[in-house]
C-alpha cells in the first residue's frame, strides 16, 4: 500500500521523474509551479497543479508553508521534495510532519544530526566510520590552529562547521599562511552560514569523490546500493557521474557499503540517502558528509542495480518493507550520466538563456533521457541551469563511453547554448576513457577538453555530409531546409558551423 496522492515540491526533470514514479504506482500527483513555470512540462505531466507564487525561488519553491497548504488543500497525503529547494531543510521536514503529512525523505532528526559537520564527525567517530584526520570542534584562534595543523601535518584544509559545497574552505600548505587563511575562512563562513566556526582536517591530495547510495525502510533494513564515481566536477558542480567506479574493488565496495550503512543507521536514517567519501590512491576512504535527499545522479545506480529508487522512496515512506537483502544487490554493467546544462563551456560556462527552438532527444538501446524541457520551453535565470540528464547503460565501461558518445551525437538542442559539445570532448578524452580521473581532473584538463578538435572521423563525415547538402541545395533549393535537419544531427554543432561557413551554407 502506498499513497493515494502525493504533492511534488519541485520543478524540472526531477519533478517529472517523481511524477512518473507516482503514475507507475497508481498514485495521483500534484505539481506546484511559479509564474515562470505556468507552462512547464512538470505542470502538464502531473494530475493536478497548484500555482504557489512569483518566479524567484524564494517566492515560490522555497515557500514551505504555501506548499504544505497546497498539499492539504489538494488532499495529498505526502510531499516529495526532490533535490535542492526544501529537500534538506530540517524545519520543512518537521513542518510537513506537524501538518499530518508524510515527508518523503529522512526524519527531521536525521537531517539535523547530519547538518553540522563537526557534530556529524563526532557521531561518525563514535560509530567506527572513518573520517579524515582532523578536529571535531571549532578552532578558537590562530595559535590553536597552528598546534593542530602541526599535529596532523601540512597540507591541511580549513572547513566551515556549518558548511557544505566548498564554501569557507581553505587549503593551507605551510604555517606562515595559516593565520590569514583562518581569518578569511571564518569571514566567508560567517557570511555564508551566519556561523564562523571553522575546524581543520588533513588535506587529501587528488582523491576521487566516490559516494554510496543507501536505502532504508522504517523496519530496520538499511541497504547499500553501492557506489557512484562523481569526480568529474567543476567548482563543486558535478558534470558526469558513473557507476560503478573503476577505482572500487569488490573489497572496497563491501567495506565502503558497510560503512555507509553504519553511518546512516547511526543518524537514525530512513529512505534514500547518500554518503560521500574521498577515496585516495591507496584505496583508503574517508567519510565526508551525508546528503539527506534523492540526488541528481541517482539514475546511474538505478541502471546498474535494477532498483527504482524513487519507487522505493514512495513505498518505504508509506511504511512498506524493503523486499531485498544486501546479497540481492548485484551490480550489473556500467552506467554514465552527463548533465546537459544551459551553460556555454567555450565561454567559461556562462549561463545561456533563450527559448528551446529545436530539440531532438537521443534514444535507442541503453539510453535514458530525463528532461525538464521541450520545444518552446523558456530557459531563464531563475533556476538551476540543468535542462536534462542523458544516462546510458552498457555491459562494460568502454561500451558505455561509446554509447554515450553516440547518444550525444544524436542530441540536438537549439535556442540555447548547452554543455553537449563539452561532454562529447570528454567522451573522446584519453584520460577519461582510461578512467584516470580525480576531483581536480576537470580543472586540470578543461582547456584541452574545450579546445580539443573532434575526432577526424567526425570531421570527415561532416565534410562529406556538408558537400552532399551543398550539392542537393544547388539542385533543389526549396528542399534544402528539410534535408539539413537530419544530417546535422550526425555531426557536432561546432564542426557544422565551421564547415557550413566554408561551404557558404549558414543562414
Q: Is 166 in the site for ligand MV4 (CB under 6 A)?
A: yes
* Least distance (Å) between residue 184 CB and ligand MV4: 17
C-alpha 404/C-alpha 418 separation (Å) is 16
Q: Does 157 bind ligand MV4 (CB under 6 A)?
A: yes
Q: What is the distance between the alpha carbons of residues 450 and 442, in angstroms, rounded to a whole number?
A: 10
Task: Give the list of residues 6+ apart from residue 166 with CB closer than 8 angstroms, or none.
Answer: 235, 236
Q: Report the greatest alpha carbon distance in the chain.
A: 81
Q: Which stretch binds ligand MV4 (CB under 6 A): 69-77, 196-204, 377-385, 458-466?
A: 196-204
Q: CB within 8 A of 193, min separation 6: which ones?
A: 160, 162, 163, 167, 168
Stretch that binds ligand MV4, among 108-116, 198-206, 401-409, 487-495 (CB under 6 A): 198-206
Shortest distance (Å) from residue 466 CB to ligand MV4? 41
Q: Does 263 bind ligand MV4 (CB under 6 A)?
A: no
Beta carbon of residue 504, minimum distance to ligand MV4 (angstroms, whole number): 46
Give least dist CB 400 to ligand MV4, A: 22
Residue 210 lies near ligand MV4 (rule: CB under 6 A): no
3-state SS record for 49-110 = EEEEECCCHHHCCCCHHHHHHHHHHHCCCEEECCCCCCCCCHHHHHHHHHCCCEECCCCHHH
Q: Does 233 bind ligand MV4 (CB under 6 A)?
A: yes
Q: Which three cell numbers stand for residue 127?
A: 560509530
Q: Within positions 108 to 147, which residues make up the interface with ligand MV4, using CB under 6 A?
A: 132
The nearer residue to ligand MV4, 132 or 437, going by C-beta atoms, is 132
Query: Is 293 marked active-site?
Result: yes
Residues 272-291 that bind ligand MV4 (CB under 6 A): 278, 288-289
Does 204 participate in binding ligand MV4 (rule CB under 6 A)?
Answer: yes
Residue 203 within binding range of ligand MV4, rule CB under 6 A = yes
Do the Cβ atoms of 38 and 51 come closer than 8 Å?
A: yes
The three grid cell numbers given for residue 429, joined into one nine-digit string: 578524452
Shortest reach from residue 83's CB to ligand MV4, in Å: 15
The cell for 267 is 543518524
- Pick the piece of the chain touching ligand MV4 (CB under 6 A) from 201-209, 253-261, 369-377, 398-406: 201-209
- Please state the φ and ψ torsions of residue 123, each to the nearest 5 degrees: -60, -40
Q: Is 366 helix (H, G, I), strand (E, B) or coil?
A: coil
Which residue, among 104, 108, 88, 94, has the nearest Cα to 5 in the 3D structure? 104
Give the up-direction half-sphere exposure of residue 20: CA atoms within 13 A in the CB hemisphere: 14
The nearest distance, CB 133 to ligand MV4, in angstroms, is 8
Site string for ligand MV4, 435-474 (x = CB under 6 A): ----x-----------------------------------
Which neighbouring-strand residues pair with 369?
Answer: 390
The residue range among 41-49, 71-79, 202-210, 250-258 that interacts with ligand MV4, by the rule CB under 6 A, is 202-210
- Is 198 a binding residue for ligand MV4 by CB under 6 A? The answer is no
The candidate with the shortest Cα–Cα distance to 361, out of 372, 345, 346, 350, is 372
Shortest approach of ligand MV4 to residue 285 CB, angstroms? 12
Indicate which single residue of 80, 170, 209, 403 sits in contact with ligand MV4 (rule: CB under 6 A): 209
Measured distance between the N- and C-terminal CA atoms of the chain, rounded to whole angstroms: 57
Instruction: Pick the catalytic residue from 293, 368, 397, 484.
Output: 293
The site that binds ligand MV4 (CB under 6 A) totals a number of residues, namely: 14
Spatial neighbors of 141 by CB under 8 A, at least 6 apart, are: none
Distances (CA, A) of 335 to 208, 249, 353: 18, 17, 30
**Please, what is the minimum distance in Å from the beta carbon of residue 284 to ligand MV4?**
12
Based on the shown chain and the rule CB under 6 A, indicate whether residue 76 belongs to the binding site for ligand MV4: no
Under the binding rule (CB under 6 A), the answer on residue 232 touching ligand MV4 is: no
Residues in the site for ligand MV4, rule: CB under 6 A?
Answer: 132, 157, 166, 201-204, 209, 233, 236, 278, 288-289, 439
Question: What are the catalytic residues?
Answer: 293
Amino acid at each position: 500500500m502506498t499513497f493515494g496522492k502525493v504533492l511534488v515540491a519541485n520543478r524540472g526533470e526531477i519533478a517529472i521523474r517523481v511524477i512518473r514514479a507516482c503514475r507507475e504506482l497508481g498514485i495521483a500527483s500534484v505539481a506546484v509551479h511559479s509564474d515562470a513555470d505556468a507552462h512547464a512540462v512538470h505542470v502538464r505531466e502531473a494530475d493536478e497543479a497548484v500555482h504557489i507564487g512569483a518566479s524567484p525561488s524564494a517566492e515560490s519553491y522555497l515557500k514551505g508553508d504555501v506548499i504544505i497548504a497546497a498539499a492539504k488543500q489538494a488532499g495529498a497525503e505526502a510531499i516529495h521534495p526532490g533535490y535542492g529547494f526544501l529537500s534538506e531543510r530540517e524545519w520543512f521536514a518537521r513542518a510537513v510532519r506537524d501538518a499530518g503529512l508524510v515527508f518523503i525523505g529522512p526524519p527531521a532528526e536525521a537531517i539535523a544530526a547530519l547538518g553540522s559537520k563537526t557534530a556529524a564527525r563526532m557521531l561518525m567517530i563514535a560509530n567506527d566510520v572513518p573520517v579524515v584526520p582532523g578536529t571535531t570542534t571549532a578552532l578558537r584562534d590562530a595559535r590553536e590552529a597552528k598546534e593542530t595543523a602541526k599535529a596532523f601535518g601540512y597540507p591541511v584544509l580549513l572547513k566551515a562547521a556549518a558548511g557544505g559545497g566548498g564554501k569557507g574552505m581553505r587549503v593551507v600548505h605551510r604555517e606562515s599562511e595559516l593565520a590569514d587563511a583562518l581569518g578569511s575562512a571564518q569571514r566567508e563562513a560567517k557570511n555564508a552560514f551566519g556561523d564562523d566556526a571553522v575546524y581543520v582536517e588533513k588535506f587529501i591530495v587528488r582523491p576521487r569523490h566516490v559516494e554510496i547510495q543507501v536505502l532504508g525502510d522504517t523496519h530496520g533494513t538499511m541497504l547499500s546500493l553501492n557506489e557512484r564515481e562523481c569526480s568529474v566536477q567543476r567548482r563543486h558542480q558535478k558534470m558526469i557521474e558513473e557507476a560503478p567506479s573503476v577505482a572500487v574493488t569488490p573489497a572496497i565496495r563491501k567495506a565502503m557499503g558497510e560503512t555507509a550503512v553504519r553511518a546512516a543507521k547511526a543518524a537514525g536514517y530512513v529512505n534514500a540517502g547518500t554518503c560521500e567519501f574521498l577515496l585516495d590512491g591507496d584505496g583508503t576512504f574517508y567519510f565526508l558528509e551525508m546528503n539527506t535527499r534523492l540526488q541528481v545522479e541517482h539514475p546511474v545506480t538505478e541502471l546498474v542495480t535494477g532498483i527504482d529508487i524513487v519507487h522505493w522512496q514512495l513505498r518505504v515512506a508509506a511504511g512498506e518493507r524493503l523486499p531485498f537483502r544486501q546479497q540481492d544487490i548485484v551490480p550489473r554493467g556500467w552506467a554514465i550520466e552527463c548533465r546537459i546544462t544551459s551553460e556555454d563551456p567555450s565561454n567559461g560556462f556562462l549561463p545561456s538563456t533563450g527559448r528551446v527552438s529545436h530539440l531532438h532527444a537521443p534514444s535507442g538501446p541503453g539510453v535514458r533521457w530525463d528532461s525538464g524541457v521541450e520545444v518552446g520551453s523558456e530557459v531563464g535565470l531563475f533556476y538551476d541551469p540543468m535542462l536534462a540528464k542523458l544516462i546510458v547503460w552498457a555491459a562494460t565501461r568502454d561500451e558505455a563511453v561509446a554509447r554515450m558518445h553516440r547518444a550525444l551525437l544524436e542530441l540536438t538542442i537549439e535556442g540555447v547554448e548547452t554543455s553537449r559539445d563539452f561532454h562529447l570532448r570528454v567522451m573522446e578524452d584519453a584520460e577519461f576513457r582510461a578512467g584516470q580521473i580525480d576531483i581536480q581532473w576537470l580543472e586540470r584538463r578543461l582547456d584541452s577538453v574545450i579546445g580539443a578538435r573532434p575526432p577526424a572521423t567526425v570531421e570527415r563525415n561532416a565534410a562529406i555530409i556538408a558537400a552532399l547538402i551543398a550539392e542537393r541545395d544547388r539542385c533543389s533549393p526549396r528542399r534544402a531546409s528539410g534535408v539539413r535537419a537530419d544530417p546535422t544531427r550526425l555531426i557536432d554543432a561546432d564542426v557544422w558551423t565551421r564547415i557550413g561557413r566554408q561551404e557558404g551554407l549558414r543562414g
